[in-house]
Chain A
Amino acid sequence: MPPSTFRDLTHLGGRAVDRVGELTDRMLDGNLRIGVTGLRRSGKTVFTTALIDNLLHADRLPFLDVVATGRFIAARMEPQPDQAVPRFDYETQIARLTAPDPVWPNNTKVTSQARVAIRYMPGSLLKRRLLGVTRLNLDIIDYPGEWLLDLPLLDRSYAQWSRETLALSKRPPRDALAAEWLAYLSNRDPSGPAEEAVARRAAELYTGYLLACRASDQLLSLIQPGRFVEPGELIGAPVLAFCPLPEPPARAGRHTLWSMMEERFEAYKTNVVRRFFSEHFARLDRQIVLIDVLGAINAGPAALADMQTSLSATLESFRHGRSSWLDRLLGGRIDRVLFAATKADHIPSNQHANLRRLLDSLVAERRNAIRFEGAAVETMAIAALKCTETVMAEHQGRQLSCVRGIPLGRMEPTVLYPGEIPDDHRLLERDGIRKLNFLEFRPPTLAGRHGRGLPNIRLDQALEFLIGDFLS
């Protein structure tokens, strides 16, 4: 039996024991795991913070049925079930967002988990008689978005991945960023001897290339493997010392550079990616996919296409489908998926419908695939933290719907007319005809005043779709 399979098996055994404990938990209380999925800079941390904050205050969620009908009693944060995972630092995040001089969260570096317990009155008479006041535990995980892109690696071989990555790196706009690394590779023979120094140097250059991709203003999302740019606890580990290589013409023997890299790639898959997946994503009940459509539009058609590919590849790893009660007990399948275009407050509200349709067209393929598997899918334009307001301004005798807010790095509010976004992404791809311009805005000053929870756009409807049936 190859060692990796064995490792998988012991791992599975350990997980089975965990599951039994969790199972009893699930039978006694309602537990629900929400997967907040999103590429980097799509706003996962802000979304998680806003979600917790709004649940705790429950004063800005008019469309959440349990709140609207007055059955909501209270919510609070509780110790999360996984002892080994850091707690999501809600207090710090909310303090930063609601400070007199508010700032957006920094890059997320590690995974963290939050549990919100909601106490509510069941809606149906029968349940109310039977159970009385019920509670629902909501588990949410925050993690670096970069890591999400590791998931597609799981069903790729090293050769396959190398081929794809190399091909991608030779296309603009990435070719310029990858030049140094590619030059280094061209002088090395993959079927040559396995030298640690070469491997390290190649990996270093490759990491440099990935970091350059991340820093580029083109908003390139497809950055694999994610741990290279956001290593977490793995800084300097040998498992990170590999990179794609051009495939040798003949099958490479043992102790060649190729075979060493391949081994490390496989180790990365088993020890890093699979672990991350099984710990956090394998047992999701509901999923929200946050997509920064506006950011991608701003960065240009290449970024949009890049984002589309990354998302599509990532979502394949999840198990979607209609879940039976047994599935729900075991936490097998995701039966509701919400695609959300985030930062909807960056455009005037009369364009939200278009933004939603644009998102629809972007994710159409994936959405249909998920729907085919039996899960319910919905798309929405949301903003976890509303930073602007829609205003009317006159321009050359015409009334324009604009947004008013304070852009990042400025102190005075401005009124921005961002242009009209089309309702299909194919219209965007014809470059240069239509210019759109979205500014990044600062969080609103004193967003948390009156103790009502963070102002948001459609967070309540997103929540109603994701957890509403559990609170009925």
Chain B
Amino acid sequence: MTGRTRDPDYRNPDYIQPMELDPSGAVVVVPEERSAGLHLPGEPVEDETPEPVPAPRRWAVRLLVGSAAVLVALAIGYDTVDLVRRAFDTSMVLGIGAAAVAAGTVLGAFGLLAGELRSLRRLRQIDGLRQDAEHLRAADSHGEAERYAGAVAALYRDRPDLTLQITALKDHLNDAHDDREVIRMVDLQLLQDIDRRAYQLVLRASRDTAIATALSPAALLDVAIVLWRNLKLVRQVASLYGARPGYVGGLKLLRRMLGNIAVAGVAETGNHLVAEALGSTLAASLSARVGQGVINGLLTARIGLTAMHLCRPLAYDETNRPSLKRIRRELLSVPKQVL
């Protein structure tokens, strides 16, 4: 070994001569599936949602809500137990009935809670997946992304509408692909198909809100429609990406989305915003109602697109992010349809 080498490998005691090995001991590297604990070991899962406003008195709120909830639960529990006891005093049959109904209620509540928790965990899983993908995309590594691909495939395992895509994905992946290619393959073969469907959903929802707002007689009804339709859209988009959020999850997503829209304007570039503003003023000058409809439609569209961003197990890159362009064009034709 020479001392003048720049390459540390040469002096490396681990250096191994090229050789042929026993074929019987070799193992093919196969993509393994991973369903739980999706983030790479050793990397903490951080909640990437930006904290919009620092909350200095959060603990007080928590204390208030927590104690109130315990108080209510205690009161209801106490009352229920009292009720059941009194029912037993009256007659045995009534008592058993009341007890059964009470048990059913408790069970149902637990079931609901469990469902919500599960859905929240799934959302977190997807967040973890997205972070994994970012790490893999940045690193020049090999052989790590198979687990990611397996995890994404596992996420959509029970979806009959995606079996074809998953089969194609598994078909095309082989041992020669490096991590970046695997990630791109997942994007291309599986997620872009979901993207197209999600985009359709967003398109439809934004048209719905636009037309409904334009036609609704009362302002209060507008708000209700927009809220309901947006929540429904978010849940639809999330289920399409495999997040299947419950009510709490949906609300949480919606809240996160509103924060994201306000903070970053995820889907937008500058000219989008300008065009949007121009388009909406034009529409507004045509008719205040219809203009409002268009604006509401745009809002829905932005919420939908943000939902796509947040529920996708892989962040969009520069080339494939969904744009408002088509939706805007569609929405600007709403005045024509309505008038």
In the bound assembly, the distance between CA atoms of A345 and B175 in angstroms comes to 10
In the bound assembly, the distance between CA atoms of A390 and B26 in angstroms comes to 9
Contact A60 B142 (CB under 8 A): no
In the bound assembly, the distance between CA atoms of A360 and B177 in angstroms comes to 19
Contact B189 A62 (CB under 8 A): yes
Contact B23 A404 (CB under 8 A): yes
Is A389 in the interface zone, CB < 8 Å from B? yes
Chain A, interface size: which category? 35 or more
In the bound assembly, the distance between CA atoms of A418 and B20 in angstroms comes to 8
**Which residue of the partner chain, among A393, A415, A457, contacts B176 with CB atoms under 8 Å?**
A457
Contacts of A393 in B (CB 8 A): 21-22, 25-27
Q: Give the Cβ gap from B328 to chain A, nearest Cβ, in Å.
A: 15
In the bound assembly, the distance between CA atoms of A427 and B2 in angstroms comes to 13
Q: Give the Cβ gap from B326 to chain A, nearest Cβ, in Å.
A: 10
Chain B, interface size: which category? 35 or more
Contact A353 B178 (CB under 8 A): yes
Q: Give the Cβ gap from B133 to chain A, nearest Cβ, in Å.
A: 17
Is B7 in the interface zone, CB < 8 Å from A? yes
Convert B304-325 into 0s and 1s, putting 1 for each residue whose CB lies closer than 8 angstroms to a CB of A. Answer: 0000000000000000000000
Interface of chain B, helix or strand or loop or mixed? loop
- Pick out which of these stretches binds chain A: B9-17, B95-103, B248-256: B9-17
Contacts of A420 in B (CB 8 A): 9
Chain A: which residue is nearest B172 at the CB level?
A62
A413 with B23, Cβ < 8 A, contacts A345-B176, A352-B178 known: yes
Contact B176 A353 (CB under 8 A): no
Is A402 in the interface zone, CB < 8 Å from B? yes
Chain A: which residue is nearest B175 at the CB level?
A390
Contacts of A95 in B (CB 8 A): none
Convert B131-147 into 0s and 1s, putting 1 for each residue whose CB lies closer than 8 angstroms to a CB of A. Answer: 00000000010110000
Is A394 in the interface zone, CB < 8 Å from B? yes
The interface centre, meaning the residue of A62, A391, A412, A457 with most chain B CB atoms within 10 A of its CB, is A62
Is B61 in the interface zone, CB < 8 Å from A? no
For window 178-214 of B, CB contacts with A under 8 Å fall at 178, 181, 184-185, 188-189, 192
Is A246 in the interface zone, CB < 8 Å from B? no
A390 with B29, Cβ < 8 A, contacts A60-B172, A62-B185, A433-B5 known: yes
Contact B172 A415 (CB under 8 A): no
Contacts of B18 in A (CB 8 A): 416-419, 435-437
Contacts of B27 in A (CB 8 A): 391-393
Is B28 in the interface zone, CB < 8 Å from A? yes
Q: Give the Cβ gap from B173 to chain A, nearest Cβ, in Å.
A: 9
Contacts of B220 in A (CB 8 A): none
Is A350 in the interface zone, CB < 8 Å from B? yes
Q: Give the Cβ gap from A111 to chain B, nearest Cβ, in Å.
A: 31
Q: Give the Cβ gap from B168 to chain A, nearest Cβ, in Å.
A: 8
Is B274 in the interface zone, CB < 8 Å from A? no
In the bound assembly, the distance between CA atoms of A457 and B181 in angstroms comes to 11
In the bound assembly, the distance between CA atoms of A352 and B181 in angstroms comes to 12
Is B64 in the interface zone, CB < 8 Å from A? no
In the bound assembly, the distance between CA atoms of A309 and B231 in angstroms comes to 66
In the bound assembly, the distance between CA atoms of A400 and B15 in angstroms comes to 11
Convert B17-44 into 0s and 1s, putting 1 for each residue whose CB lies closer than 8 angstroms to a CB of A. Answer: 1111111011111000000000000000
Contact A63 B23 (CB under 8 A): no
Contact B21 A389 (CB under 8 A): no
Contacts of B25 in A (CB 8 A): 393-394, 415
In the bound assembly, the distance between CA atoms of A393 and B188 in angstroms comes to 32
In the bound assembly, the distance between CA atoms of A417 and B192 in angstroms comes to 38
Chain A: which residue is nearest B177 at the CB level?
A349
Contacts of A394 in B (CB 8 A): 25
Contact A63 B176 (CB under 8 A): no
Is A458 in the interface zone, CB < 8 Å from B? yes
In the bound assembly, the distance between CA atoms of A266 and B142 in angstroms comes to 53
Is A414 in the interface zone, CB < 8 Å from B? yes
Is A434 in the interface zone, CB < 8 Å from B? yes
Contacts of A449 in B (CB 8 A): none
Chain B: which residue is nearest A394 at the CB level?
B25
For window 215-246 of A, CB contacts with B under 8 Å fall at none
Contact B142 A349 (CB under 8 A): yes
**Which residue of the partner chain, among B14, B29, B140, contacts A353 with CB atoms under 8 Å?**
B140
Is B1 in the interface zone, CB < 8 Å from A? yes
Contacts of A402 in B (CB 8 A): 21, 26
For window 271-310 of A, CB contacts with B under 8 Å fall at none
Q: Give the Cβ gap from B322 to chain A, nearest Cβ, in Å.
A: 15
Contact B7 A427 (CB under 8 A): yes
Convert A381-401 into 0s and 1s, putting 1 for each residue whose CB lies closer than 8 angstroms to a CB of B. Answer: 001001001111111001010
Contact A391 B28 (CB under 8 A): yes
For window 418-449 of A, CB contacts with B under 8 Å fall at 418-420, 422, 427, 430, 433-437
Contact B21 A352 (CB under 8 A): no
**Which residue of the partner chain, among A352, A414, A435, A437, contacts B23 with CB atoms under 8 Å?**
A414
Q: Name 27 interchain pairs, CB-CB below 8 A, sorted by A.
A: A62-B172, A63-B181, A63-B184, A349-B175, A349-B176, A350-B142, A350-B178, A390-B176, A393-B22, A393-B25, A395-B16, A395-B19, A400-B16, A400-B21, A402-B26, A404-B26, A404-B28, A414-B20, A415-B23, A417-B16, A417-B18, A419-B17, A420-B9, A430-B5, A433-B1, A434-B9, A437-B19
Contacts A63-B188, A427-B7, A430-B2 aside, 7 further interface pairs with beta carbons under 8 A come to A62-B189, A349-B175, A350-B143, A353-B142, A389-B28, A389-B175, A416-B21
Show the binding face of A for B, using Cβ within 8 Å: 60, 62-63, 68-69, 344-345, 349-350, 352-353, 383, 386, 389-395, 398, 400, 402, 404, 412-420, 422, 427, 430, 433-437, 455, 457-458
Show the binding face of B for A, using Cβ within 8 Å: 1-2, 5, 7, 9-10, 14-23, 25-29, 140, 142-143, 168, 172, 174-178, 181, 184-185, 188-189, 192
